[in-house]
Structure 1
């Protein structure tokens, strides 16, 4: 903990310095001019607003670099962005959700000049107008509007070295002429995702330890095409197409298993060894098209927005899992078991949204809208198990899931005075779903759901004076399970260790309260509380099962007294995807966003404390009815959180920049047990030279971003997971910008299927 306190003190030490006063440089030297400084960071009733145009760090940066330095935002993998206390945030552009997938979105943000950005809005508690899947927070990027016609674009190449080498390249172009705007992007690359695992579970009578590596090679290509045409001065029509494909062939999992059981006859432990070797070929395709119509109905900003979309997602996956008997050195012996799995998934979605905003002259706004989603998933799974000395087992399961969602919302927003404003709204949603399985037990062959949700929202903002501001927001949201979570398949790690998806998972609910105080638009305090009902997570259930004892050649050992085989207890571990009780998260965060030393240093610093209260228990596998010793998580924990993002300008010409980013998350109790502390120190060096940008980023310098989870149950069962994803590495990138950099961007349209698309991941 000393290292974290030292780093905190290091960055806080600079906060006492005041910025240099600005003076007039006119010919009248004896008259001091008064310079008005625009607010860079402020809080509105339902969002934080970061005015990029007024910020000294915008020039020479990319949008992604700028987002890294936006208060409350962070990244740990140089690809995705997080809002403090949330999971990965959704990206909106000009108020509409981006249609791009995570990879192409990262490329877009890294190749868009920050000078094109007017402001960034961080919405920590989304309102009723946002669909329910946006419960993790929203980042809304507002582009500048006064830009001329022409052509511009950029090309980017990068190379990354972690455990393996990876490379990527992208090309994007934007064209606008009078009423027509076209935006296109093409990207591709390859990488090998590497992981190292240590898995331990068991009790006093039996235990298992699995250690080994996962190597997942990927080749991907994708892009998007957006066409926007201005029909009249008040109406626009836009067509957006997004596509990406990924191929992962010869993905391997190699685990060495140390299996120990207690022999009651000899009163001693017997150890057996096996090797689990998994080989997987998978490929996926994601295509979506969206048609948008927008009509402005008056000069105040009132407008009608209509979307119609189609989404097709296909994933084909074949796995071959072999279990070999082994010795203590890990040498393969007799092939004991083979499991072949064919796990295809096809998703088709038709979606539509209608939104109307009416603004009045008295600073009163009414927004009303609705959405419809019709989704069908087809999962034709086939499992074939080959056991030495036994007949083959063929277990097909054709699972089809149909889901219809109907939603409507109403929000009322009013600015009562220059100091006080408020917003109130509600969303009503109806969900009808039917899951059918042609080879499951009779009670599991048909699963029907029909539920309604009313989701209110409230927020207000009060400016006490020029220096002090207070705001409050309450939101009720829900999270529907992803389609892959509902597909009742097993993903096998070892012979007795696998994950199990669950068609009975139901939507969970979230109720959030947030109180924010800001001082001088630079210092802020955020108090928040979230209650999760029926939280969707993965629960480890383990039990002892009896298996015949075998020698190293695979022969069953017979008890000479009884004439029956010796039976030893083996530990079976299932990670079940299910609803697991309730959880509360409470946090207090103190932060600062400020520049120092004549704007040579720009710092965002957050330090806070988080309290997790868990209340869940499970003893029955909901997919099979099998009974296990109860798994409970009714443990609370209190954790310290530290995050700082710093940009240091190294020269007067603003061409050299040094970045120093750090985060620390104290140990905390999560659903799977106690997650040990995580931290990462990341460094970057960037050079701007005319239209070229050269950047070097080094991540996890101290190699401290490794996941470790351990859990001990009252019944004697324990579980331990260590996952190293080799996050330490370096990336070198070259970016070239060409053309007229003042080209107006194509309107970014929120697709009707965006909420559904997020559930395919």
Structure 2
């Protein structure tokens, strides 16, 4: 509550700036009368370009709202953005990766006015100069160049209602005076993230079912501070700091478990009920600082960039997991098992990065650079398993593991880019990465184990773009990437869900490789066809393994989700799309439809961490699915003050590593009103309540596994946004932190 009071106070102090904006409002009205006929969406070299300044949906929107309207981009949870055919979208600002963590970045995008943006670039296959993993794509936000001195800012308050009510608020400001620029943000909020689960697994003889709720209350407070000083006409020095704190106390899991035993004829022999209750307290802190130096070496745009960064991440977590049986009065009071857990994690990272771009007069560019990361993670896990018989404690088994992981990454890249003519351009490059890592697991009374991972990778890249004529354009790109395991995936901790259901992380997980190819055809800068193929080797994922275990003379069915490298995977897609305005820009439509085909090939029967043997799990299945996405904005009045948004997506069922993921669908509607410097918006999400995860898998050996997850996506958000100050203030440079590639692996 204190967080909201603090930011609310800041929000209303900003009203004093309202009177300073009358002149700007008059200028804005004059600009609105101009009919812009520039190309809004076009293909350039290795990227798609969405010219925001020429788009009719910009005014009054936040950057996040605008990204949702950008062709090829989508979001299913109102938090993360995805590029069609890609796993994740990495945010860059003015060609540099954002140095904010995921939560802070989301708040930043939701509170930055879209009017500050010149264009949005969507890079589906990033070149060698970009530090991205796997099949990640890039969204590069190019800001307008505003040269005036002064102060401007943005304040936003929002309230969200789904199963529970949540609120958030933020304050952002930019100040520039002569050579100094300052950018700052403060944001916070609280909410309860609910989930409803139905879990089933077993065979024809033994079947488990767990049904219940998970409620995860969160309180967040974060922000950033960026300082940029122009040393002279050719050089700048910048210091960036961002922070994020999360507290989740009394997070609860309450599941009713049913064990059914059948005979050979399918007749129910016995039924046993238990109750799994888990209470968890967790808090985390993420702080990073980055120092940047930029030197322009000539008038053609050649420049040198140097970065040094430090990242500190801390998470402290404890949990009390209890499995209770029925007493004589059919109440869950009899202890069956209790697991007390402490799962702390501390990450320290030092990073350095250097890039030099040399441009020549004959439209030839050479880029060269390198980076260095050294990371240490400390995970001192303590589990105490308390076993009961008839409600009496019979055994206490400690499970202690102090896992320390040290990793060093050395990387270098070289790219050549050439514009051969007005029609033909191309780029070729490669990145070479060296990874040296060592993990040590120390268990009291046992010999310390060491896990060493050393590998070198050469990652080539190639692309070309050919403009056949003014209406037709074709391009091709190939790249190879790695996907390193997140630090939490390497920590060999076991997370207990029920007495017979748990997840197990794995220090033996190695990096996976991804090879991407993409062919794109574009017509009239409005219609496009994208053909994509990705081959993923040694996929990092969770694998559901089952086996029979005997406890107190009774056979139970155990289900473990094991984190490991699980075979290979191919993904193929064909996407037809359109981005176009109709009826004198009253309607803006972004529509995509396509097919995707997945081929899985993996087999596992042993937990690599413990050596325990399970029934063999095989996933060598393929699937084809239909994908539809439509984002539409309708301007309701001539003055451009009322807007109606209708967004829809549908993803047909598809085969993933855990089984067959059933179809997902969501219909979202929004209404927005611009009034002077204020914006009032109401967003209704998943109106039909169809965005629910459902996964089913049936093995040839008779093993069955089913997951039903309701994340309560249906809800509404009402927000109020206020822009104040001089809107001509030049934005502070956004600098890519040297630790960004590491930071993404803390989540």
Instruction: Indicate whether the TM-score tops 0.5.
Output: yes
Q: 1:52 to 1:693 in 2, by over 3 A?
A: same
Q: Deviations over 1:446-465 (max 9, x none)?
A: 00111000000000000000
1:546 to 543, 550, 564: 550
Residue 688 of structure 1 aligns with which residue?
674
Residue 624 of structure 1 aligns with which residue?
610
Q: Which secondary structure does the structure 2 equivalent of 1:275 belong to?
A: strand
Shift, 1:267, TM fit: 8.2
Matches within 5 A, 1:461-476: 461-476=465-480
Q: Deviations over 1:31-86 (max 9, x none)?
A: xxxx9943221112211111112223223322222211111011222222111122
Query: For residues 395 and 436 of structure 1, what CA distance do their matches in structure 2 show?
Result: 16
Matches within 5 A, 1:609-758: 609-758=595-744
Q: Which secondary structure does the structure 2 equivalent of 1:99 belong to?
A: coil
Q: 1:684 to 1:440 in 2, by over 3 A?
A: farther
Residue 85 of structure 1 aligns with which residue?
85
Question: How many equivalent residue pairs?
Answer: 709
Matches within 5 A, 1:378-393: 378-388=378-388, 389-393=393-397
Matches within 5 A, 1:278-289: 278-289=278-289
Residue 199 of structure 1 aligns with which residue?
199
Q: 1:315 to 1:536 in 2, by over 3 A?
A: same
Shift, 1:94, TM fit: 0.2
Query: For residues 263 and 490 of structure 1, what CA distance do their matches in structure 2 show?
Result: 33
Task: Note if contact 1:263-1:270 (Cα within 8 Å) is conserved in structure 2.
Answer: no
Residue 344 of structure 1 aligns with which residue?
344
Matched, 1:480 2:484: yes
Query: For residues 444 and 459 of structure 2, what CA distance do their matches in structure 1 show?
Result: 35
Task: Note if contact 1:423-1:458 (Cα within 8 Å) is conserved in structure 2.
Answer: yes
Unaligned stretches of 5+ in structure 2? Answer: 1-34
Matched, 1:158 2:158: yes
Query: For residues 406 and 245 of structure 2, what CA distance do their matches in structure 1 show?
Result: 25
Query: For residues 489 and 440 of structure 1, what CA distance do their matches in structure 2 show?
Result: 16
Shift, 1:134, TM fit: 6.7
Q: Which secondary structure does the structure 2 equivalent of 1:231 belong to?
A: strand
Q: Which secondary structure does the structure 1 equivalent of 2:232 belong to?
A: coil
Q: Which secondary structure does the structure 2 equivalent of 1:537 belong to?
A: strand
Q: Deviations over 1:469-498 (max 9, x none)?
A: 000000100100000000000110001100
Query: For residues 567 and 199 of structure 2, what CA distance do their matches in structure 1 show?
Result: 25
Task: Note if contact 2:400-2:444 (Cα within 8 Å) is conserved in structure 1.
Answer: no
CA RMSD of aligned residues (A): 1.7
Residue 181 of structure 1 aligns with which residue?
181
Matches within 5 A, 1:92-241: 92-133=92-133, 135-241=135-241
Residue 397 of structure 1 aligns with which residue?
401
Query: For residues 153 and 310 of structure 1, what CA distance do their matches in structure 2 show?
Result: 28
Query: For residues 134 and 241 of structure 1, what CA distance do their matches in structure 2 show?
Result: 27
Q: Which region of structure 1 is more displaced relative to structure 2, 106-115 or 72-81?
A: 106-115
Residue 496 of structure 2 aligns with which residue?
492
1:458 to 445, 457, 462: 462
Shift, 1:440, TM fit: 8.2
Q: Deviations over 1:81-131 (max 9, x none)?
A: 111122231110000011122233222222222222111100111110011
Q: 1:103 to 1:36 in 2, by over 3 A?
A: closer
Q: 1:299 to 1:444 in 2, by over 3 A?
A: same
Unaligned stretches of 5+ in structure 1? Answer: 1-34, 549-566
Shift, 1:333, TM fit: 3.0
Query: For residues 529 and 100 of structure 1, what CA distance do their matches in structure 2 show?
Result: 31
Matched, 1:423 2:430: no
Q: 1:149 to 1:267 in 2, by over 3 A?
A: closer
Query: For residues 745 and 355 of structure 1, what CA distance do their matches in structure 2 show?
Result: 22
Query: For residues 293 and 328 of structure 2, what CA distance do their matches in structure 1 show?
Result: 67
Q: Deviations over 1:404-423 (max 9, x none)?
A: 00000000000000000000
Q: Deviations over 1:329-382 (max 9, x none)?
A: 973131111110000000000000000000000000000000000000000000
2:518 to 510, 514, 532: 514
Matches within 5 A, 1:223-262: 223-262=223-262
TM-score of the superposition, structure 2-length normalised?
0.93
Query: For residues 520 and 400 of structure 1, what CA distance do their matches in structure 2 show?
Result: 55
Residue 536 of structure 2 aligns with which residue?
532
Query: For residues 447 and 462 of structure 2, what CA distance do their matches in structure 1 show?
Result: 42
Residue 564 of structure 1 aligns with which residue?
none
Q: Which secondary structure does the structure 2 equivalent of 1:133 belong to?
A: coil
Task: Note if contact 1:261-1:570 (Cα within 8 Å) is conserved in structure 2.
Answer: no
Query: For residues 210 and 327 of structure 1, what CA distance do their matches in structure 2 show?
Result: 19
Q: Which region of structure 1 is more displaced relative to structure 2, 385-394 or 151-160?
A: 385-394
Query: For residues 599 and 216 of structure 2, what CA distance do their matches in structure 1 show?
Result: 35
Residue 374 of structure 1 aligns with which residue?
374
Shift, 1:265, TM fit: 14
Query: For residues 330 and 642 of structure 1, what CA distance do their matches in structure 2 show?
Result: 49
Residue 28 of structure 1 aligns with which residue?
none
Q: Deviations over 1:573-598 (max 9, x none)?
A: 10001100000000000000000011
Q: 1:441 to 1:448 in 2, by over 3 A?
A: farther
Query: For residues 144 and 585 of structure 2, what CA distance do their matches in structure 1 show?
Result: 24
TM-score of the superposition, structure 1-length normalised?
0.91
Task: Note if contact 2:505-2:563 (Cα within 8 Å) is conserved in structure 1.
Answer: yes
Query: For residues 268 and 601 of structure 1, what CA distance do their matches in structure 2 show?
Result: 60
Q: Deviations over 1:503-550 (max 9, x none)?
A: 0000000000000000000000000000000000000000001122xx
Query: For residues 328 and 266 of structure 1, what CA distance do their matches in structure 2 show?
Result: 29
Query: For residues 329 and 681 of structure 1, what CA distance do their matches in structure 2 show?
Result: 46
Shift, 1:171, TM fit: 0.5
Task: Note if contact 2:101-2:744 (Cα within 8 Å) is conserved in structure 1.
Answer: no
Query: For residues 647 and 204 of structure 1, what CA distance do their matches in structure 2 show?
Result: 51
Matched, 1:38 2:24: no
Q: Which secondary structure does the structure 1 equivalent of 2:745 belong to?
A: helix
Query: For residues 145 and 161 of structure 1, what CA distance do their matches in structure 2 show?
Result: 38
Q: Which secondary structure does the structure 2 equivalent of 1:390 belong to?
A: strand
Task: Note if contact 1:658-1:683 (Cα within 8 Å) is conserved in structure 2.
Answer: yes
Q: 1:200 to 1:265 in 2, by over 3 A?
A: closer
Residue 563 of structure 2 aligns with which residue?
577
Q: Which region of structure 1 is more displaced relative to structure 2, 521-530 or 129-138?
A: 129-138
Query: For residues 634 and 329 of structure 1, what CA distance do their matches in structure 2 show?
Result: 48
Q: Which secondary structure does the structure 2 equivalent of 1:100 belong to?
A: coil
Shift, 1:199, TM fit: 0.3
Q: 1:293 to 1:326 in 2, by over 3 A?
A: same
Shift, 1:390, TM fit: 1.6
Residue 580 of structure 2 aligns with which residue?
594
